[in-house]
Structure formats: C-alpha cells, structure tokens
Amino acid sequence: TDEITIRVAITVIAAIIAIAVALIFGREDDRDDSAVPIATRHGTFVAQFNDIGLCRLDFPAKARAIKPAPKPTGLAKRRAVAGADLSAGTQFQQTVWAELLNIPPGQTRSYGEIAGRLAKPGAARAVGSACGANPIPVIVPCHRVLAAHRRIGGFSGGPGWKPRLLRIEQAEFVG
C-alpha cells in the first residue's frame, strides 16, 4: 500500500473527527479552516480542510502560503468522496472528478476515454483542464489519466509526480 495514500487517509480521518468535535462542542477561535502538513519520505504535503472536510491537497514544493479554505457552495452536496469538499469545481469538473474515482489503482484511462464515458467525446481537453483543477489529487486520482497512446500528459503536482505515483501503483505508461 502506498505511504502517501495511507498518511493522507489518516490525516483526513483525524481532521473529520476534529471537525465533528468542533461542530458539536464549538471552537475556541473563529477559524473554520485548517491546514495540516503531512510529512512523507516523498516530501511534505499540505492538506487543507474546511467545515465539510478535505478541500485541497498541495504537493511538496507546490504548497502555497496558507490562506482561508474555500467556503462550501451549494454544489457541496454533489461531492463524491465522503469527508471531502469538491464544491469549488464547476458541475463539469465535479462530474469528471466523480468519474476519476472509478479508476482502480494500477489502471489508467485517457483524457479521451473519460470524455467518452461522460458522453462528451470531443471534450478531452476540457477533461484535462478539469484534472488540472482537481483540488485533492491522489484522493481524486487524476494521476491515473493519461494523454493519447499512454503518454504522461500534465499533472498539477508538478514535474515527476505523475510517473512516480503511477510507478508506485505499477500502472503502465509511456514516460
């Protein structure tokens, strides 16, 4: 099992418990968001949470200055991952992210395949843009989406992360 996924999952669970306690008993401060560094042998990730749950995951060297977490919108009810807030995305982005959750570890799909599964066969580039806007990569596995002919394509985590994650999952790709 992948160390990054396990640490992120443990952090998400801990944050959900903390959020539940804060909602039940109240908070001492007025903050409604928090950022948690997750140290791994691959570097330190930063997970950011709001009242719904995990709303952003930044990769090492890509972690931004911590700013207030995005407030959940009316689309929060469409989130596809328990304890996660994907409401910052458009309806199309959320539909793409939900489809990405159907890709098992070790398998990949192309941007075009995802577009076809969404009944939008000409939307491969839009699928790529939605993958790039994914606020919680690894949890919503946009790294499992490849360009045509199993080529890597882009990845919001930065150079080298997509092939690294795919190797950990033993997925086939052309590097």
For the annotated catalytic residues, the residue numbers are 142
Specify the pairing of strand 109-110 against strand 145-146: parallel
Amino acid at 113: E
Rounded-to-integer distance, Cα 107 and Cα 66, Å:
33
